[in-house]
Structure 1
Amino acid sequence: MKAVRIGVYRDRGTEKETWCRGENVFTRYIEEILSHAGITFDRLNEISQMEQQPPDVLFVTAAGEPAWEAVLRLADQGGEVMIFGGGPDLARRLGAAAGPAFGPGYAEVSGLKTPLLRFLKGVPWHLPSDSSAAEEGCLRAGSPDGKHSGTLITRFSVGAGWVTRWAIDVPTTVVHLQQGKNPVTADGHPAPDGTADLDEGILKADDGFALDWEWDRSDTETGERYFAHPYADLWRETLLRDLFNRVRVRGWTLPFIDRWPGGVSQVAMISLDSDSNLDESAETTLKLLDECGVCATWCMMEPGYHPSVYSCAVGEGHEMALHYNAFDRDGGSWGEKAFAEQLRWLKEAIGCERVVSNKNHYTRFEGWGELFRWCEKYGMESDQTRGPSKKGNIGFLFGTCHPYFPIARGDEENRFYDVLEIGFLTQDLNLDRLADTSVIVPFLQAVEQVRGVSHFLFHPIHLHREEAVRNALRTVVREAENRGFRFWTGQAINGWERSRRKQRITGVDDQRRPVMTGVPPRDSVVMVPLLRDEEPHEEPVEMRFGVPCRKWLSHQVLVERTLPFP
């Protein structure tokens, strides 16, 4: 059984030219997509690296001549090449003609419960009538029932290998859905039905969302409107399904570290924003969480609670986090100095030097990467700010329910911020001015589909004053646990995601057991996709990314010794 080697090629010269034009190379976000999927890959920055140790599968994030020559040679020699975009010259070399760009639109894909995926820009290629290239998927302009305007995937046979060309730059699409198309510098457009007044003069994360008020929202049975589809996660799934299918067609396998530890399919999270800082509200909330048997992430805003609340919460397994106040109407301000001072206050208040998580009060957010840079500088490993602030934009506003590492813009050379983002879906269900509990099941079902994190936000002050809100939290816990969700804190999610990414899978042995460098995290699972003609026998087999996989627990994998015995 051959375990494939994955390479990601970045032409540094092309990247620098792009940055000099003030543009981005968000295509390199394929690295985050692969890392989050638990797939081991090699970064290739030079043509010589590609030629001396050619990967079996190559993703191209940026290339120019003569890099394209080397890429096509790799395909000719039997490699699988995956590209997003590519100019008219490359199209002609592959026997196609580049069409005009258009967007937004919706792509028809197969194999998903959500067959139409929103994209923001498509660049289709057109084939002559006598072409032997294969085409898959359909692009529709403007709306889900818009004009057929191109093909999503085109596969070209090149010598002994293949080039798969996507008309949608999937990594860039994921970035724009998760982080917006542009920095937040002005109010967003309000919902036409009056349910989300984003133009209230407060800069927030949701001012930069990239979904459509009409096409991307659904209604519950009680009439609550919500963004229904985790499009970014579904684009990841679509891309990875295609990758695993191509590997399987070639008679290879691609082992990967599963998303969650053994026995966990998806995770739920409750976070709490202290806001009014009433001690009685904290006591009510502690009792409620104890009743429900779950731990939460408490986001604390100055002046906070009495010290006894913190010791009690920590003793019961809860996480203490920062609720950075940049909302001037509540006495806060946007800036590094205010962020650092509030973090310093929190550490002194709780008597702990390590604080892992942050969520901004009122989801205040400006620019693109300022908040993430502050988090990096002051040791904050995770953020939870990216979520809805209004009743009418709850749900998958940023297209994702997965923890992810955000990417910088071109002025920072599109580096990855070392901050794990864990967005939330909604807040304070059953509060009179917000949504009711009819959204809970649709949210959980959608998260379950992509095995993500179902993150619900509550305020202790509302839990203290409103029995309806307390009942909403009880319903969240009951419905989530009935569907097999495990409740984790933000700190636990951050620790797990970071630990699983430290491992590399180097192959499979003659027993088809995965071989790794470094000791895998406890309870982690490595999946080895079955070959196309392979029978599962008696081993546990589960479906991932559309292919059946043999499941290996962490104590079953073979760990390579990277150093000799002393």
Structure 2
Amino acid sequence: MKEYPHLSVVLDEVSAREGHAEGQAPWWTYCAEVLDHVRVPYDVVPAIGDLGLDGPGVLLFPEAPSLPDDQAAAVRAWVEGGGALLCTGAGSLGAAFGVAEVDPVADGYVLIDGADGWLDGVDVPLRAQGGNKLAVGTDAVVLASWAHDKTPAIVLVHLGLGVAIFSGVDIWQSIVRIQQGDPVYTDGVPAADGSAAVDDGSLKCDDGIVLSYETDREVPPQSAVRRAEGRAGLDPVPIFHRPHADLWRGAFLQLLLGAARHCGVVLPWLYYWPAGVPAVAHLSVDSDRNSIEDAATSLDLFDEIGVRTTWCHVYPGGYDTATVERIGAAGHEHALHFNAVGDADIASWGWAQLRAQHAWAQAMTGHEEIVSNKNHYTRWEGWDEFYRWCVRLGIEIDETRGPSKRGNVGFPFGTAHLAKPMSGTRRLDVLMLPMHAQDLAWTTHESVRNVILDQVVAQHGVAHFLFHPVHLHRRSFVRDACRDVVAEATRRGLPWWTAAQLNAWERLRRNVVLDVRHEAGGGLAISAHAPNAIPGAAIMLPLPDPSAQVETAWSDSGSPVRPAVVERHGMTMLELATDLAEGTTTLHVTWAAVAAAPDGELVR
């Protein structure tokens, strides 16, 4: 068997640490998080000199390198011979391909019309944090342009048998800063229309929103949801209707897999969810007031609609033993609702207070494994310190990052995906679960529901809706809104998972390592190395040709393999659904409509 060429990432972690010590933010190191979430196989090399440029493959520079002329010429020759190059920035390497950085862009917007066929068109200008305008030769294909002056932002150069793609957009900085926001030390600037008065004297996540209230929001369509009863005066307002960080992730993945396919390289990846699941939904509950009556009404409702929730318990007080036991017996997750709003003795911002409240939640619920948290009122200070506390404490997933005002619901942090936060030159071992809306029909107009679900399904992420028992108990129309969002998500094929389930699944799949080999006759052998069994996993393969058809698909383990053609991130994929056993599972695929060339490589 011949091992297929794969992806090499030039990532100099020593230089990143040195630069960070001098005050430079090494945003480019976050490319590892983007790749790890997708679970595409890749190797890391600290410098281009450590990589033998021999044969086809994919080479990623997440930061523009400063290469001597001989190394830049070697990369150019490798691309010309059939390699695929992706580079953030241009630097001295870009000069070898006729691409140069000109003016910097600290904060801008990028237009992607999709006319070239490499990227899907995006119906809004995408927010970009950092980058440069590019100057290119006449033979370059412009894939994306800066909105303010239409200069090139992402370009593609065909060279011989290969292809080189240069991004003037700092994709990594854009993803990180949009999804983590800016550090919070003071109140944020409110929306001019009064719909998001974040300047309320309480520091919280949405004080650090990077996206713009003026240019990144839109009023949702009102025809989607109409209710005779409802809160008087609760009219639709503009919301963050597009997940900008996820759209950048998707664009990068399209470029990566498209460049690989162009050069005959197969890059498998592990889908985010079980096979056939388009996306996942999550319902969280905040126990504000700790009312037994509120809880009973909510539990009755959740029993009726068949949904399991993550129940975030707030200090002080707590429920009585019978209510706590009923929550657990119904399959709901016990979680913490960290209180730092100053209304009790230890209800203030700090490590000691978080640790004490976590211990209180363990004692109150009788449940030692409290792995999930959401901060009361989405309280936040600083940038990454709370995530560092979570790691120390054993909180593995935090779902704080979301809206506190009706005018910043939707995707204020640009994402529906689970991700690890950046901290200096590293990622912290805690998952960020974004929140999208609170208390439909009471705090948030229901017209946002389908906007959120549409985008979450398109990005294959998590739709997170929060409800408070007090509103479910007091208002029948809020209960109806809860029924309807659960029914609509379920109709679309989204299962409802708790935060603990999301955390466990994501951590399971992040331990899987894939590799792919070429077999005689043009077939493929895809091996999945998993320390734990994963039932219903889905390995994705970009189809080598639009007309390709699977002839056979089987597993060494004897588990059934169910091939299906699906659309993921705007690309046609072969989904191989199977149960991954502990250890190594190898899947074999042969093609009926793809011929094998004499040299054994796949013919497009």
The normalised TM-score by structure 2 is 0.85
The equivalences for 1:272-311 within 5 A come to 272-302=285-315, 303-311=317-325
Closer, same or farther in 2 for the Cα pair 1:464/1:153, shift >3 Å?
same
What corresponds to 2:225 in structure 1?
Answer: none
Closer, same or farther in 2 for the Cα pair 1:95/1:20, shift >3 Å?
same
What corresponds to 2:217 in structure 1?
Answer: 217
Contact 1:405 1:417 in 2 (8 A): yes
The equivalences for 1:100-119 within 5 A come to 100-102=103-105, 103-110=107-114, 111-112=120-121, 114=123, 116-119=125-128
Cα deviation digits, residues 127-184 of structure 1 (max 9, x gap): 24xx43332222202xxxxx32x1122234567644311011112111111012x311
Closer, same or farther in 2 for the Cα pair 1:206/1:151, shift >3 Å?
same
Range that drifts further, 59-68 or 356-365 = 59-68
Aligned length: 546
What corresponds to 1:435 in structure 2?
Answer: 444
- Counterpart of 1:387 (choices 379, 394, 402) is 402
- Counterpart of 2:473 (choices 464, 467, 490) is 464
Classify the secondary structure of the residue corresponding to 2:387: helix
Contact 1:189 1:198 in 2 (8 A): yes
Unmatched tracts of structure 2, length 5 or more: 115-119, 223-234, 552-562, 587-604
CA RMSD of aligned residues (A): 2.4
Closer, same or farther in 2 for the Cα pair 1:494/1:75, shift >3 Å?
farther
Please give the alpha-carbon distance, in whole angstroms, between the structure 2 residues aligned to 1:34 and 1:72. 27
Structure 1 residue identity aligned to 2:573? C
Range that drifts further, 237-246 or 69-78 = 69-78
Structure 1 residue identity aligned to 2:112? E
Contact 1:401 1:453 in 2 (8 A): yes
Please give the alpha-carbon distance, in whole angstroms, between the structure 2 residues aligned to 1:387 and 1:230. 12
The equivalences for 1:111-190 within 5 A come to 111-112=120-121, 114=123, 116-128=125-137, 131-141=138-148, 147-148=149-150, 150-157=151-158, 161-180=162-181, 182-190=182-190
CA shift for structure 1 position 2:
7.0
Classify the secondary structure of the residue corresponding to 1:342: helix
Structure 2 residue identity aligned to 1:345? W
What corresponds to 1:144 in structure 2?
Answer: none
Structure 2 residue identity aligned to 1:540? A
CA shift for structure 1 position 69:
5.7
Q: Identity of counterpart residues, as a percentage?
A: 34
Range that drifts further, 254-263 or 227-236 = 254-263
Contact 1:14 1:64 in 2 (8 A): no
Closer, same or farther in 2 for the Cα pair 1:162/1:116, shift >3 Å?
same
What corresponds to 1:95 in structure 2?
Answer: 98
Please give the alpha-carbon distance, in whole angstroms, between the structure 2 residues aligned to 1:339 and 1:380. 11
CA shift for structure 1 position 68:
8.3
The normalised TM-score by structure 1 is 0.91
Structure 2 residue identity aligned to 1:202? S
Cα deviation digits, residues 188-244 of structure 1 (max 9, x gap): 110101111111111111111111112211113253321100111111111111111
What corresponds to 1:370 in structure 2?
Answer: 385
Classify the secondary structure of the residue corresponding to 2:452: helix
Classify the secondary structure of the residue corresponding to 1:219: coil
Contact 2:63 2:88 in 1 (8 A): no
The equivalences for 1:278-357 within 5 A come to 278-302=291-315, 303-329=317-343, 332-357=347-372
Please give the alpha-carbon distance, in whole angstroms, between the structure 1 residues aligned to 2:585 and 2:493. 37
Unmatched tracts of structure 1, length 5 or more: 142-146
Cα deviation digits, residues 249-295 of structure 1 (max 9, x gap): 11222111111102311111100111111111111111010011000
CA shift for structure 1 position 490:
0.5
1:10 aligns with 2:11: yes
CA shift for structure 1 position 124:
1.4
Contact 2:516 2:526 in 1 (8 A): yes
Structure 1 residue identity aligned to 2:44? R
Cα deviation digits, residues 12-57 of structure 1 (max 9, x gap): 4532442133121111211111111221212222445423888821
Contact 2:62 2:88 in 1 (8 A): yes
Please give the alpha-carbon distance, in whole angstroms, between the structure 1 residues aligned to 2:547 and 2:458. 26
Please give the alpha-carbon distance, in whole angstroms, between the structure 2 residues aligned to 1:228 and 1:67. 45
Classify the secondary structure of the residue corresponding to 2:573: strand
What corresponds to 2:528 in structure 1?
Answer: 516
Range that drifts further, 318-327 or 547-556 = 547-556
Contact 2:528 2:580 in 1 (8 A): no
Please give the alpha-carbon distance, in whole angstroms, between the structure 2 residues aligned to 1:255 and 1:216. 34
What corresponds to 1:270 in structure 2?
Answer: 283
What corresponds to 1:551 in structure 2?
Answer: 575
What corresponds to 1:205 in structure 2?
Answer: 205
Contact 1:297 1:320 in 2 (8 A): yes
CA shift for structure 1 position 527:
1.4
Please give the alpha-carbon distance, in whole angstroms, between the structure 2 residues aligned to 1:512 and 1:520. 22
CA shift for structure 1 position 101:
1.4
1:231 aligns with 2:251: no
What corresponds to 1:530 in structure 2?
Answer: 543
Classify the secondary structure of the residue corresponding to 1:94: coil
Contact 2:287 2:313 in 1 (8 A): yes
What corresponds to 1:416 in structure 2?
Answer: 427
Closer, same or farther in 2 for the Cα pair 1:64/1:13, shift >3 Å?
farther
